[in-house]
Chain A
Amino acid sequence: MWFQQVLFFIAGAGALAGALGVVMLRNPFYSVLALVAHLIALAVLFLLLYAEFLAVGQVVVYAGAVMVLYLFVVAYIGGADEPLGPEHGALRTLGPLFAAALGIELCIAFIASGLSALDSRGAELEPGFGSPGGIGQLLLTRFLVAFEAASFLLLLAAVGAIVLARRRRGLEEEGPTVGPPRDRGPAASETETLEVRV
Protein backbone atom coordinates (compact mmCIF):
# COMPACT_ATOMS: atom_id res chain seq x y z
CA MET A 1 0.00 0.00 0.00
CA TRP A 2 2.80 2.44 0.84
CA PHE A 3 4.11 2.06 -2.71
CA GLN A 4 0.77 3.22 -4.10
CA GLN A 5 0.77 6.25 -1.83
CA VAL A 6 4.31 7.26 -2.79
CA LEU A 7 3.42 6.86 -6.45
CA PHE A 8 0.25 8.92 -5.95
CA PHE A 9 2.12 11.82 -4.40
CA ILE A 10 4.86 11.79 -7.04
CA ALA A 11 2.34 11.65 -9.91
CA GLY A 12 0.05 14.18 -8.25
CA ALA A 13 2.91 16.63 -7.78
CA GLY A 14 3.87 16.10 -11.41
CA ALA A 15 0.31 16.71 -12.57
CA LEU A 16 0.01 19.90 -10.48
CA ALA A 17 3.41 21.16 -11.66
CA GLY A 18 2.46 20.49 -15.28
CA ALA A 19 -0.85 22.30 -14.87
CA LEU A 20 0.87 25.30 -13.26
CA GLY A 21 3.42 25.27 -16.07
CA VAL A 22 0.68 25.43 -18.70
CA VAL A 23 -0.82 28.50 -17.07
CA MET A 24 2.35 30.30 -15.97
CA LEU A 25 4.78 29.88 -18.87
CA ARG A 26 4.71 32.75 -21.33
CA ASN A 27 5.79 30.87 -24.44
CA PRO A 28 2.96 28.65 -25.84
CA PHE A 29 5.54 26.10 -26.99
CA TYR A 30 6.66 25.45 -23.42
CA SER A 31 3.01 25.41 -22.32
CA VAL A 32 2.34 22.52 -24.71
CA LEU A 33 5.37 20.62 -23.39
CA ALA A 34 4.18 21.20 -19.81
CA LEU A 35 0.78 19.80 -20.79
CA VAL A 36 2.47 16.67 -22.15
CA ALA A 37 4.16 16.15 -18.77
CA HIS A 38 0.82 16.76 -17.04
CA LEU A 39 -0.94 14.18 -19.21
CA ILE A 40 1.68 11.51 -18.57
CA ALA A 41 1.47 12.10 -14.81
CA LEU A 42 -2.32 11.84 -15.11
CA ALA A 43 -1.96 8.51 -16.93
CA VAL A 44 -0.02 7.20 -13.91
CA LEU A 45 -2.91 8.31 -11.68
CA PHE A 46 -5.35 6.47 -13.96
CA LEU A 47 -3.25 3.34 -13.52
CA LEU A 48 -3.51 3.74 -9.74
CA LEU A 49 -7.30 3.81 -10.16
CA TYR A 50 -7.25 0.54 -12.16
CA ALA A 51 -8.18 2.24 -15.45
CA GLU A 52 -5.53 0.57 -17.59
CA PHE A 53 -7.23 1.05 -20.94
CA LEU A 54 -7.81 4.76 -20.34
CA ALA A 55 -4.22 5.26 -19.18
CA VAL A 56 -2.92 3.76 -22.42
CA GLY A 57 -5.42 5.81 -24.42
CA GLN A 58 -4.38 8.94 -22.58
CA VAL A 59 -0.72 8.45 -23.46
CA VAL A 60 -1.25 7.35 -27.06
CA VAL A 61 -4.09 9.64 -28.12
CA TYR A 62 -3.61 12.70 -25.94
CA ALA A 63 0.09 12.95 -25.20
CA GLY A 64 0.87 11.54 -28.62
CA ALA A 65 -1.52 12.63 -31.32
CA VAL A 66 -3.34 15.67 -29.95
CA MET A 67 -0.21 17.28 -28.55
CA VAL A 68 1.63 16.82 -31.85
CA LEU A 69 -1.28 18.65 -33.50
CA TYR A 70 -0.85 21.48 -30.99
CA LEU A 71 2.89 21.61 -31.63
CA PHE A 72 2.29 21.85 -35.38
CA VAL A 73 -0.06 24.79 -34.94
CA VAL A 74 2.28 26.55 -32.50
CA ALA A 75 5.13 26.13 -34.98
CA TYR A 76 2.89 27.33 -37.84
CA ILE A 77 1.71 30.44 -36.07
CA GLY A 78 5.13 31.11 -34.61
CA GLY A 79 4.85 30.68 -30.89
CA ALA A 80 5.70 34.21 -29.91
CA ASP A 81 5.55 35.30 -26.30
CA GLU A 82 2.28 36.79 -25.23
CA PRO A 83 1.98 40.35 -26.51
CA LEU A 84 2.01 43.04 -23.89
CA GLY A 85 -0.67 45.16 -25.48
CA PRO A 86 -2.82 47.77 -23.84
CA GLU A 87 -4.35 46.43 -20.68
CA HIS A 88 -8.11 46.05 -20.66
CA GLY A 89 -8.91 47.27 -17.19
CA ALA A 90 -12.06 45.42 -16.20
CA LEU A 91 -11.11 42.08 -17.75
CA ARG A 92 -7.59 42.13 -16.33
CA THR A 93 -8.83 42.52 -12.78
CA LEU A 94 -12.01 40.45 -12.95
CA GLY A 95 -10.38 37.32 -14.43
CA PRO A 96 -8.00 36.53 -11.54
CA LEU A 97 -10.72 37.59 -9.09
CA PHE A 98 -13.16 34.99 -10.43
CA ALA A 99 -10.43 32.34 -10.47
CA ALA A 100 -9.58 33.05 -6.82
CA ALA A 101 -13.28 32.95 -5.92
CA LEU A 102 -13.63 29.52 -7.56
CA GLY A 103 -10.58 28.22 -5.68
CA ILE A 104 -11.85 29.50 -2.36
CA GLU A 105 -15.24 27.97 -3.02
CA LEU A 106 -13.76 24.53 -3.66
CA CYS A 107 -11.53 24.79 -0.56
CA ILE A 108 -14.63 25.58 1.50
CA ALA A 109 -16.29 22.53 0.02
CA PHE A 110 -13.37 20.33 1.17
CA ILE A 111 -13.01 21.82 4.61
CA ALA A 112 -16.73 21.73 5.26
CA SER A 113 -16.38 17.96 4.83
CA GLY A 114 -18.73 17.42 1.97
CA LEU A 115 -16.28 14.67 1.07
CA SER A 116 -16.32 12.79 4.37
CA ALA A 117 -19.73 11.42 3.48
CA LEU A 118 -18.11 9.43 0.70
CA ASP A 119 -17.06 5.84 1.16
CA SER A 120 -13.40 6.53 0.58
CA ARG A 121 -12.10 2.96 0.59
CA GLY A 122 -13.71 2.03 -2.68
CA ALA A 123 -15.68 -1.01 -3.64
CA GLU A 124 -14.32 -4.49 -4.14
CA LEU A 125 -13.22 -4.87 -7.73
CA GLU A 126 -13.82 -7.81 -9.98
CA PRO A 127 -10.78 -9.14 -11.81
CA GLY A 128 -10.49 -7.50 -15.21
CA PHE A 129 -11.84 -4.16 -14.02
CA GLY A 130 -10.96 -1.43 -16.52
CA SER A 131 -9.60 -3.84 -19.12
CA PRO A 132 -10.19 -3.17 -22.82
CA GLY A 133 -12.55 -6.13 -22.95
CA GLY A 134 -14.85 -4.83 -20.24
CA ILE A 135 -14.92 -1.29 -21.61
CA GLY A 136 -15.49 -2.50 -25.15
CA GLN A 137 -18.39 -4.64 -24.02
CA LEU A 138 -19.98 -1.67 -22.24
CA LEU A 139 -19.45 0.57 -25.28
CA LEU A 140 -21.14 -1.86 -27.63
CA THR A 141 -24.05 -2.83 -25.40
CA ARG A 142 -25.11 -0.33 -22.79
CA PHE A 143 -23.59 2.82 -24.27
CA LEU A 144 -24.06 2.02 -27.94
CA VAL A 145 -25.97 5.24 -28.68
CA ALA A 146 -23.30 7.40 -27.03
CA PHE A 147 -20.62 5.50 -28.94
CA GLU A 148 -22.32 6.11 -32.29
CA ALA A 149 -23.00 9.75 -31.44
CA ALA A 150 -19.32 10.22 -30.55
CA SER A 151 -18.21 8.73 -33.86
CA PHE A 152 -20.61 10.98 -35.74
CA LEU A 153 -19.31 13.96 -33.77
CA LEU A 154 -15.73 13.08 -34.77
CA LEU A 155 -16.80 13.00 -38.41
CA LEU A 156 -18.47 16.40 -38.06
CA ALA A 157 -15.36 17.83 -36.41
CA ALA A 158 -13.13 16.53 -39.21
CA VAL A 159 -15.35 18.07 -41.90
CA GLY A 160 -15.57 21.32 -39.93
CA ALA A 161 -11.80 21.54 -39.60
CA ILE A 162 -11.38 21.11 -43.35
CA VAL A 163 -13.96 23.82 -44.03
CA LEU A 164 -12.28 26.18 -41.54
CA ALA A 165 -8.70 25.67 -42.61
CA ARG A 166 -8.91 25.40 -46.40
CA ARG A 167 -7.44 28.10 -48.60
CA ARG A 168 -10.13 30.11 -50.32
CA ARG A 169 -8.17 30.28 -53.56
CA GLY A 170 -11.04 30.34 -56.00
CA LEU A 171 -12.64 33.39 -54.47
CA GLU A 172 -9.42 35.36 -54.21
CA GLU A 173 -8.31 35.01 -57.81
CA GLU A 174 -11.57 36.24 -59.27
CA GLY A 175 -11.68 39.73 -57.86
CA PRO A 176 -8.92 42.26 -57.16
CA THR A 177 -6.73 41.31 -54.21
CA VAL A 178 -8.30 42.56 -51.05
CA GLY A 179 -6.27 43.42 -48.03
CA PRO A 180 -2.53 43.35 -47.45
CA PRO A 181 -0.43 40.59 -49.03
CA ARG A 182 0.01 37.56 -46.87
CA ASP A 183 3.25 37.12 -45.05
CA ARG A 184 4.87 33.98 -46.44
CA GLY A 185 8.52 34.90 -46.09
CA PRO A 186 10.76 36.68 -48.58
CA ALA A 187 10.97 33.90 -51.15
CA ALA A 188 7.22 33.44 -51.38
CA SER A 189 6.55 37.18 -51.68
CA GLU A 190 9.13 37.43 -54.49
CA THR A 191 7.41 34.75 -56.51
CA GLU A 192 4.10 36.46 -55.89
CA THR A 193 5.34 39.78 -57.27
CA LEU A 194 6.76 37.95 -60.27
CA GLU A 195 3.39 36.38 -60.89
CA VAL A 196 1.74 39.77 -60.69
CA ARG A 197 4.18 41.24 -63.25
CA VAL A 198 3.58 38.41 -65.68
Chain B
Amino acid sequence: MDVIWFLVLSAFIFVIGAAGVLTRRNPLVVLLCLELMLNAGNLALIAFSRMHGNEAGQVFALIVMVIAACEVVIGLGIIVAMYRNRLPIDVDEMSELRG
Protein backbone atom coordinates (compact mmCIF):
# COMPACT_ATOMS: atom_id res chain seq x y z
CA MET B 1 0.00 0.00 0.00
CA ASP B 2 1.56 3.23 -1.12
CA VAL B 3 2.06 5.81 1.59
CA ILE B 4 1.36 8.56 -0.97
CA TRP B 5 -2.32 7.67 -1.05
CA PHE B 6 -2.56 8.38 2.66
CA LEU B 7 -0.88 11.76 2.18
CA VAL B 8 -3.29 12.72 -0.62
CA LEU B 9 -6.27 11.69 1.51
CA SER B 10 -4.93 13.66 4.45
CA ALA B 11 -4.54 16.76 2.26
CA PHE B 12 -8.13 16.46 1.04
CA ILE B 13 -9.44 16.14 4.60
CA PHE B 14 -7.35 19.16 5.61
CA VAL B 15 -8.80 21.26 2.78
CA ILE B 16 -12.36 20.24 3.68
CA GLY B 17 -11.73 21.20 7.30
CA ALA B 18 -10.17 24.54 6.35
CA ALA B 19 -13.13 25.31 4.09
CA GLY B 20 -15.47 24.59 6.98
CA VAL B 21 -13.54 26.86 9.34
CA LEU B 22 -13.62 29.64 6.77
CA THR B 23 -17.27 29.37 5.78
CA ARG B 24 -19.33 28.11 8.71
CA ARG B 25 -20.71 30.54 11.30
CA ASN B 26 -21.71 28.29 14.19
CA PRO B 27 -18.71 28.12 16.59
CA LEU B 28 -19.53 24.49 17.41
CA VAL B 29 -19.17 23.52 13.77
CA VAL B 30 -15.99 25.60 13.51
CA LEU B 31 -14.54 23.55 16.37
CA LEU B 32 -15.57 20.34 14.61
CA CYS B 33 -13.81 21.50 11.45
CA LEU B 34 -10.69 22.26 13.52
CA GLU B 35 -10.84 18.64 14.65
CA LEU B 36 -10.92 17.61 11.00
CA MET B 37 -7.77 19.62 10.29
CA LEU B 38 -5.93 18.20 13.31
CA ASN B 39 -6.92 14.68 12.29
CA ALA B 40 -5.63 15.25 8.78
CA GLY B 41 -2.32 16.28 10.33
CA ASN B 42 -2.38 13.14 12.47
CA LEU B 43 -2.94 10.96 9.42
CA ALA B 44 0.03 12.55 7.64
CA LEU B 45 2.25 12.10 10.72
CA ILE B 46 1.35 8.43 11.02
CA ALA B 47 1.85 7.90 7.28
CA PHE B 48 5.37 9.35 7.55
CA SER B 49 5.99 7.23 10.63
CA ARG B 50 5.08 4.15 8.58
CA MET B 51 7.27 5.33 5.72
CA HIS B 52 10.37 5.72 7.85
CA GLY B 53 9.62 2.79 10.13
CA ASN B 54 10.06 5.09 13.13
CA GLU B 55 7.59 5.24 15.98
CA ALA B 56 8.34 8.88 16.84
CA GLY B 57 5.64 10.04 14.41
CA GLN B 58 3.04 8.10 16.32
CA VAL B 59 4.13 9.79 19.55
CA PHE B 60 3.71 13.15 17.79
CA ALA B 61 0.20 12.12 16.76
CA LEU B 62 -0.57 11.16 20.35
CA ILE B 63 0.56 14.59 21.57
CA VAL B 64 -1.58 16.23 18.86
CA MET B 65 -4.58 14.29 20.17
CA VAL B 66 -3.88 15.67 23.66
CA ILE B 67 -3.70 19.22 22.28
CA ALA B 68 -6.97 18.65 20.42
CA ALA B 69 -8.65 17.51 23.64
CA CYS B 70 -7.46 20.66 25.44
CA GLU B 71 -8.71 22.83 22.58
CA VAL B 72 -12.11 21.14 22.68
CA VAL B 73 -12.44 21.66 26.42
CA ILE B 74 -11.58 25.36 26.26
CA GLY B 75 -13.64 25.98 23.12
CA LEU B 76 -16.73 24.30 24.51
CA GLY B 77 -16.27 26.21 27.77
CA ILE B 78 -16.23 29.49 25.84
CA ILE B 79 -19.35 28.47 23.89
CA VAL B 80 -21.20 27.57 27.10
CA ALA B 81 -20.14 30.92 28.60
CA MET B 82 -21.44 32.70 25.48
CA TYR B 83 -24.77 30.90 25.89
CA ARG B 84 -24.96 31.79 29.60
CA ASN B 85 -24.37 35.46 28.83
CA ARG B 86 -27.06 35.34 26.13
CA LEU B 87 -24.64 36.33 23.41
CA PRO B 88 -25.39 35.26 19.84
CA ILE B 89 -23.90 31.84 19.00
CA ASP B 90 -22.33 33.15 15.81
CA VAL B 91 -18.66 33.75 15.10
CA ASP B 92 -19.42 36.70 12.83
CA GLU B 93 -21.26 38.53 15.60
CA MET B 94 -18.58 37.82 18.19
CA SER B 95 -15.80 40.24 17.43
CA GLU B 96 -14.52 41.08 20.89
CA LEU B 97 -13.53 39.11 23.97
CA ARG B 98 -14.75 41.60 26.59
CA GLY B 99 -16.41 39.46 29.26
Contact = CB atoms under 8 A, between A and B. Distances in A.
Contacts, number: 230
A197 interface: no
Contacts of B81: 164-165
Nearest to A83: B90
Contacts of B19: 23, 95-96, 99-100, 102-103
Interface in B1-40: 1-9, 11-20, 22-26, 28-29, 31-33, 35-36, 39
Contact of A23 (B33, B43, B77, B84): B33
The SS class assigned to the B binding surface is: helix
Interface residues of B, number: 71
Contacts of A160: 73-74, 77
Interface of A: 1, 4-5, 8, 12, 15-16, 19-20, 22-23, 28, 31-32, 35, 38-39, 42, 45-46, 48-51, 53-54, 57-58, 61-62, 66, 69-70, 73-74, 76-77, 79, 82-83, 85, 88, 91, 95-96, 98-100, 102-103, 106, 109-110, 115, 118-126, 129-130, 134-135, 138-139, 142-143, 146-147, 150, 153-154, 156-158, 160-161, 164-165, 167, 179-180, 182-183
